[in-house]
Amino acid sequence: MEAKVKVFLLSLVNILYNKLPETLDKINRKKHNLRMSMIGNIKQLEQKCLAKGLKMTAQRRVICKVLAQSHDHPHVDALYERVQKIDNKISIATIYRTLRLFEEAGILMSHDFGMGRAHYEISPDNTHHDHMIDVETGEVIEFTNKDIEQLQEKICEQAGYQLIGHRLELYVCKKK
Ligand SMILES: [Zn+2]
Ligand SMILES: [Zn+2]
């Protein structure tokens, strides 16, 4: 009986051991894909800057990297903190200047979100989304809703206008 259990355990270990490289490979591939898509985003952002005639300095590259990795609509202080972790010689003035430049070039969008300060995100390419702001945590949730989009167009049309753009912010708190 004991021997049987031993054999069973050994074969179990064997199976797990044989599966291990496969599992590790899967994890590594996933990590790799994530990293590649991140690099893709950074490269894309740099390309956009170059296309707008902006010179890519080392400092701007760092700021691009942080922007491409930030999906939480950060404000300038949060961006400054993230940039500092990569290069602590980049001043907040440089960040302000770069953000303004990127915004003027249409690469970056800023939102007030009713919090009295600018929150940034990379301008989406040919896509659109709206925002929900959790007023208790400051968390920004992105959403899209076809009905709302169509309704807005209808309202404008009925008033004799063509809708050329909009921003929609919903202020929310978690249901208690
Ligand atoms: Zn919308
Ligand atoms: Zn957004």
Domains, the chain, ranges and CATH? 2-125 (1.10.10.10), 128-176 (3.30.1490.190)
Q: How far is the CA of 92 from the centre of ligand 1 (A)?
A: 32
Q: How far is the CA of 133 from the centre of ligand 1 (A)?
A: 14
pLDDT in tens, 95-114: 999 999 999 999 999 999 98
Which residue has tokens 């004991």? 2
Shortest-distance ligand to the CA of residue 170 = 1
Task: Output the six-digit token pair for 49.
Answer: 């800057």
Task: Output the six-digit token pair for 4.
Answer: 């049987």
- pLDDT above 90 as % of the chain: 66
Q: Is the pLDDT of residue 146 over 70?
A: yes
Q: How far is the CA of 28 from the centre of ligand 2 (A)?
A: 29
- Predicted TM-score (pTM) of the model is 0.74
pLDDT band at residue 34, thresholds of 50, 70 and 90?
A: low
pLDDT in tens, 69-91: 999 999 999 999 999 999 999 99
